């Protein structure tokens, strides 16, 4: 799948990742201050972080993989895969003439790390939480469908 980002064309998504992001660090959690909906939690003096993946099988679709793994096991049954909020907000802002944006690429990198290199994903998640000074007993994960 040809990818166009920042006025550059890449023959494939893998090519884009290799050329632009191969040596760039990745963070698993995003600071809640960058998300308008999460800012409310911060005003209550709570640390708020969020983890964004690509939904359903979007990562494998972008990577042109034959086997399409899913991040949302019930997406087809619930019929929510087409109405997913993945492209709501900033995630859906793509410049004219381009096929993706940096938000989708960041979500892709996290999703692929989770699917393909689970140990590295968990190590980075551990690092991100330790940098915040969080103890693992303080962490709670809420998944909203």
Q: What is the DSSP string of 96-109?
A: TT-S--HHHHHHHH
Give the domain extent around 70: 3-136
- Quick check: is 142 in a domain? no
Task: Output the CA–CA distances (angstroms, integers) from residue 102 to 4, 59, 93, in the order listed.
Answer: 11, 14, 10
- Quick check: is 63 in a domain? yes
- Quick check: is 143 in a domain? no
**Does the predicted TM-score (pTM) go above 0.95?**
no
pLDDT tens-digit readout, 67-92: 888 888 888 888 888 777 777 777 77
Q: What is the pLDDT of residue 144?
A: 46
- Quick check: is 144 in a domain? no
Report the candidate in 31, 34, 63 with the shortest Cα–Cα distance to residue 50: 31
- Quick check: is 141 in a domain? no
- Quick check: is 129 in a domain? yes
Confidence of residue 126 (pLDDT cuts 50, 70, 90): confident
What's the CA gap between 50 and 35, in Å, rounded? 9
Structurally, the chain folds into a number of domains equal to 1
- Quick check: is 132 in a domain? yes
């Amino acid at each position: 799948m040809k990818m166009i980002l920042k006025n550059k064309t890449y023959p494939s998504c893998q090519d884009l990742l290799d050329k632009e992001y191969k040596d760039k660090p990745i963070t698993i959690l995003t600071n809640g201050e960058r998300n308008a909906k999460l800012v409310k939690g911060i005003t209550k003096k709570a640390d708020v972080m969020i983890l964004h993946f690509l939904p359903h099988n979007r990562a494998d679709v972008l990577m042109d993989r034959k086997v399409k793994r899913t991040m949302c096991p019930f997406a087809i049954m619930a019929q929510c895969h087409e109405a997913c909020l993945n492209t709501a907000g900033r995630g859906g802002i793509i410049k004219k003439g381009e096929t993706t944006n940096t938000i989708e690429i960041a979500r892709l990198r996290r999703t692929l790390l989770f699917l393909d290199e689970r140990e590295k994903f968990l190590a980075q998640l551990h690092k991100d939480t330790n940098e915040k000074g969080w103890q693992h007993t303080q962490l709670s994960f809420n998944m909203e469908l």
